[in-house]
Chain A
Amino acid sequence: EAQVTQNPRYLITVTGKKLTVTCSQNMNHEYMSWYRQDPGLGLRQIYYSMNVEVTDKGDVPEGYKVSRKEKRNFPLILESPSPNQTSLYFCASSSRLAVNEQFFGPGTRLTVL
């Protein structure tokens, strides 16, 4: 089954404790992206990747890092999480030729205390 998976789905952590949210897709998609969803602010793009070893900042990259060492994986790293990073995070992927049709993961709800 074609899908985008994220782990963990829920995470409660404390300020400053490094964490990684994994994202994996099995559709051989070149394009992958991370978004955060906040009430009243909608979906905002954090980082995206057009292909392996190619990453770019989205609209709200501060406090986040990503890597794209393999085509299927696009982990999101919070080196020193802060409470304002409490949010619902979505990973998405698509063909490079159809960025409009992104397949979204189930979301990761992160709480930073």
Chain B
Amino acid sequence: AQRVTQPEKLLSVFKGAPVELKCNYSYSGSPELFWYVQYSRQRLQLLLRHISRESIKGFTADLNKGETSFHLKKPFAQEEDSAMYYCALLTQGGSEKLVFGKGTKLTVNP
């Protein structure tokens, strides 16, 4: 069965510190993973996808198939990074759908 696990409900760091939001997945097929972000009073939106290996707002995430992980990292956190972050897995084979983790609330303190 497909599953996305975000072990940290809450994560608090100081401005300028590195931040890593953990995501592990369980999926029998070829995984496609994504990070979504929800800033306060805003809609959930796609932050980045593993397949493009992009860096968005200073965030990167590398898919590690050996460890079944897709951790989100940023070397120097900013206050505006405070938000709810969801890791998501795209399931395929018939009906595609996104399976979300439970989310991690990141707070960046001044």
Contact = CB atoms under 8 A, between A and B. Distances in A.
Chain B interface mostly: strand
Contacts of A31: 96
Q: For the side of the interface on A, what is the size category?
A: 20 to 34
A40 B102 contact: yes
Q: For the side of the interface on B, what is the size category?
A: 20 to 34
B106 to A, nearest CB: 14
Given A100-B34, A104-B44, A104-B45, A43 B100 contact: yes
Contact of A42 (B43, B45, B96, B102): B102
Contacts of B97: 33, 45, 48, 58, 99
A44 B97 CA distance: 11
Given A42-B101, A42-B102, A99 B86 contact: no
B98 A99 contact: yes
Interface string B1-20: 00000100100000000000
B40 interface: no
B46 A102 contact: yes
Contacts of B103: 42-43
Contact of A99 (B9, B96, B100, B101): B96
A107 B95 contact: no
Interface in A8-52: 31, 33, 35, 40-45, 48, 50
A35 B46 CA distance: 15
Interface of A: 31, 33, 35, 40-45, 48, 50, 56, 58, 90, 92, 99-102, 104-107
17 contacts: A42-B100, A42-B102, A43-B86, A45-B98, A45-B100, A48-B95, A48-B97, A58-B97, A99-B96, A99-B97, A99-B98, A100-B32, A100-B98, A101-B49, A102-B98, A104-B45, A105-B43
Given A101-B49, A104-B43, 13 more contacts: A33-B97, A40-B102, A42-B86, A42-B100, A42-B101, A43-B86, A44-B100, A45-B100, A56-B95, A90-B43, A92-B44, A99-B98, A100-B32
